Chain A
């Protein structure tokens, strides 16, 4: 089954404790992206990757890091999480930016 998986689905952590949210896709897609979704603000792009070892900032990259060492994986790293990073995070993949993006199920992160 074609899918994008994210782990964990739910995470509660404390300020400053480094965390990683994993994302994996099995569709051999070149383009992958991370979004955060907040009430009233919609989906905002954090980082995207057009291929292995090629990443670039989206609209809200501050406080986040990404890496793309393998085509199928695109982890999101929060080196020192803060409460304003409490949000719902989605990973997405596609054949290209303007093709259909397949979204993962989301990761709900709470930073206290």
Chain B
């Protein structure tokens, strides 16, 4: 079983739609949860970071963590064509392990 599972998509939605991106993980010891965004031909860049269950909001983006279900989500409201990118979840924080595990990435396209 993979430590982190992420639907690779691709996902294509119209501009203005609400987008939901999800990851599941297998080890309940993970404590830190991140979302990175990667534009074509670029390196990933940090979008959201959280270390507790619940929601964290930043503008049009909301990161949600459900530790009991081992499930994390990223919601994008009022999606824009500039949001078209690959989104990668990343989890880490197992005590004693210098390890950050990335999901496969979901390729998202927002159509004007």
Taking Cβ atoms with an 8 Å cutoff, the residues of A that contact B are 4, 35, 40-45, 48, 50, 56, 58, 90, 92, 97-98, 100-101, 103-106
On chain A, the residues within 8 Å of B6 by CB distance are 42
On chain A, the residues within 8 Å of B93 by CB distance are 98
* CB-based contact B32/A98 at 8 Å: yes
Would you list 24 pairs from A and B whose C-beta atoms are within 8 A, ordered by A residue?
A35-B102, A40-B104, A42-B104, A42-B105, A43-B90, A44-B102, A45-B100, A48-B98, A50-B98, A90-B43, A90-B44, A92-B43, A97-B98, A97-B99, A98-B32, A98-B92, A98-B93, A98-B100, A100-B49, A101-B46, A104-B43, A105-B42, A105-B43, A106-B42
Taking Cβ atoms with an 8 Å cutoff, the residues of B that contact A are 6, 8, 32, 41-46, 49, 88, 90, 92-93, 98-100, 102-105
Least CB distance from A49 to B in Å reads 10
User: By DSSP majority rule, is chain A's interface helix, strand, loop, or mixed?
Assistant: strand
Known A42-B105, A43-B88: A100·B46 in contact at CB below 8 Å: yes
The 9 closest A-B pairs by CB, nearest first: A103-B43, A42-B104, A43-B102, A100-B46, A42-B102, A98-B32, A97-B98, A103-B44, A90-B43
